[in-house]
Amino acid sequence: MTENRIPRRPSPLVSILPIAVLISLLFFTIRLLGSDALGGGSQVCLLVATALCVLVGMAGYGVKWEEYDRAITQNIAGVSTALIILLVIGSLSAAWMLSGVVPTLIYYGVQIIHPQFFLLSTCLICAAISVMTGSSWTTIATIGIALMGIGRAEGFDEGWTAGAIISGAYFGDKVSPLSDTTVLAASSTGTPLFTHIRYMLFTTLPSLAVALVVFLVAGLLHAPGTPAEMMAFTSTLAERFHISLWVLVVPALTGLMIARKVPSIITLFLSTMLAAVCMLLFQPEIVREIAGEGMSEADTLLKGTLLSLCTSTGLETGNDVLNELVATRGMAGMLGTVWLILCAMCLGGAMSASGMLESITSLFVRLAGRLSTMVASTVGCGLFLNLATADQYISIILTGNIFRDIYRQNGYETRLLSRTTEDAVTVTSVLIPWNTCGMTQATILNVSTFAYLPYCVFNYVSPLMSILVAATGFKIYRTLKH
């Protein structure tokens, strides 16, 4: 019988080498290519780091290629649904824009939301929608795109707007009982779901409060555009699109499907089809413009619709900001991100098969002594796993499994572990450029991860808050046996 256990595990110093090489390569690649790094440079960096991991494991530690092949295949299979959702989101974003849904939301949103309270409102709106939907991805792919447009119209830096959107969306993703990450963190640590959610509020609500204060102050310090500028922006938007409240039936029906707990991929697909119908009904001139001339009316509309959903489109509005805003990328615009995710899964699988993940996480386990260091070690381990595996689901499961016995032996209830895991993993995944969440949200919002990272206040305050609350001993429960 073949023995699958590797004979000798790499040391932590050797194990960290692929990650160090990856970060170094990405630094130079992004400096040289900027936003174009997603077009291939970042993927090459990931594959080089993967190759180094495989080479070290095979040459120095006797890891067979079959083990790498199996681990990489399992990793890619685990994100297959997410890849399909990502492609659907590409079509959804284009359909919502070209059907007039997003332009209508922007048109009325600019007039309703006061610029000085825009960032605060954005965070709260995304938090409320994400709590109801249980999905940060759905929230960002729908209302998030519209809010980005409003933010540009009101003169906000795109990093600030994206930070407010992501902060609110990941608050809801973290505490909603409908969220898959919330359910996963609770189940992987053996914690009742609503016990887990209630316990998270002790760190999550203060983190959100800090974020809201920051966004309020930033908004108050923002110099809004003049009424004439805002009027020119909305009037240009109304000239290019048929602004109608009827198109808001699409987000309304999407919200209804979410409330009825229709699976995400079905909801997003049906929402795309509804928007495509509205595009034909309310924006036929735009569809014809995209399709070009020389065909029958039916062929023109069909071609225009297909091109809108699948490829990049650009409309001339006479306003450079608005041109950039209404440009769409369709399903094809997501292919770079899909490619990046596949390469990241290769690295995660190679790190796991070689034993490097286990070697590095053992360091965090050794540091788990007192309560504060135990929680800090859990946070550090979760962050590292987000870096190394590039997937929040894998990171949640591994963090829970690694520390479950340690928390039990020290006499702490599982709710402390489940809360710390979410504080460390769920909200920080979006801050890592090669993590599936970071890649996806940067692609959807068309803002690089490094551009929005400083402004995702909730996302980096949450793990710090988890350590702070543990250090104070507030609401830390021990098991009866201890």
How sure is the predictor about 260, in pLDDT bands with cuts at 50, 70 and 90? confident
Is pLDDT of 122 > 80?
yes
Which residue reads 């990793």 in tokens?
Answer: 75
Q: Which residue among 333, 349, 377 closes a domain?
A: 333
What share of the chain in percent tops pLDDT 90? 30
Residue at 216 is within a domain? yes
Instruction: Report if residue 170 sits inside a domain.
Output: yes
315 in the same domain as 194: yes
Tell me the per-residue pLDDT of 4-62, one tens digit each, with 9 for 90 and over. Answer: 444 578 888 898 899 889 888 877 887 787 667 767 888 898 899 999 999 999 998 88
Q: What is the pLDDT of residues 102-111, one digit of tens each?
A: 888 878 877 7
pTM value is 0.73
Nearest residue to 350 (alpha-carbon basis) of 38, 17, 26, 3: 17
Helix (H) or strand (E) holding 413: none
Task: Please check whether residues 165 and 85 belong to one and the same domain.
Answer: yes
Domain match, 315 and 353 both: no
Q: Given this model, what pLDDT does residue 228 score? A: 66
Q: What is the dihedral of CA 42, 44, 47, 49, to 10 degrees?
A: -70
Contact 158, 209 (CB under 8 A): no
d(CA 102, CA 237): 11
Range of the domain at 356: 12-77+340-472
Report the distance separating Cα 118 and Cα 106, nearest Å.
12
| Same structural domain, 466 and 388 | yes
Do 388 and 414 fall into the same domain?
A: yes
Query: Do residue 26 and residue 150 come from a single domain?
Result: no
d(CA 375, CA 463): 10
Res. 480: pLDDT tops 60: no
Out of 265-274, 337-346, 450-459, 462-471, pick the least confident: 337-346
Q: Is residue 3 part of a domain?
A: no
Residue at which a domain ends, from 315, 333, 351: 333
CA angle at residue 143 from 290 to 303, to 5 degrees? 15
Indicate the burial class of 371 (C-beta count within 10 angstroms; 0-12, 13-18, 19 or more).
middle
- Whether 174 and 230 map to the same domain: the answer is yes
- How many structural domains does the chain have? 2
Closest CA to 462 of 428, 435, 433, 439: 428
101 and 141 share a domain? yes
Same domain, 44 and 156: no
Is the sign of the CA dihedral 303, 309, 311, 313 positive or negative? positive
Count the neighbouring beta carbons within 10 Å of the beta carbon of residue 472. Answer: 10
The answer as to whether 482 is a domain residue is no
Most confident by average pLDDT, 41-55, 121-135, 223-237, 364-378: 41-55
Is pLDDT of 481 > 70? Answer: no
> Does one domain contain both 109 and 248?
yes
Which tokens is 253 given? 């029906």
The pLDDT of residue 3 is 46
* Cα 262 from Cα 334, distance rounded (Å): 24
* Cα–Cα distance for residue pair 182/199, rounded to 1 Å: 12
- pLDDT band for position 208 (cuts 50, 70, 90): very high
Q: DSSP letters of 155-184? A: T--HHHHHHHHHHHHHHHHHH-TT-HHHHH
Instruction: For residue 447, tell me if it sits in a domain.
Output: yes
CB 332 within 8 A of CB 310: yes
Among 70-79, 427-436, 456-465, the range with the most confident prediction by mean pLDDT is 456-465
C-alpha span between 201 and 204 (Å, rounded): 5
Nearest to 327 by CA among 340, 313, 342: 313
Give the confidence band of 73 by pLDDT, cuts at 50, 70, 90.
very high
4 falls within a domain = no
- Please give the average per-residue pLDDT across 303-325, as a whole number: 84
Q: Are residues 329 and 344 in the same domain?
A: no
Is 478 within the bounds of a domain? no
Q: Single out the residue in 333, 354, 378 at which a domain terminates.
A: 333
pLDDT in tens, 377-411: 899 888 988 888 777 887 887 787 778 778 888 88
Residue scoring higher pLDDT (392 or 369): 392
**Does some domain include residue 6?**
no
Cα 381 versus chain centre, distance: 20
The chain-wide mean pLDDT, for the chain, equals 85
pLDDT, tens digit (0-9, with 9 covering 90-100), for 147-163? 888 888 888 999 999 99
In this structure, are 466 and 443 located in the same domain?
A: yes
| DSSP per-residue string spanning 18-81 | HHHHHHHHHHHHHHHHGGGGGGTHHHHHHHHHHHHHHHHHHHHH---HHHHHHHHHHHHHHTHH
Is 221 buried (19+), middle (13-18) or exposed (0-12) by CB count in 10 A? exposed
Dist. CA 98–CA 250, nearest whole Å: 13
Asked if 308 and 95 touch (Cβ cutoff 8 Å), the reply is: yes
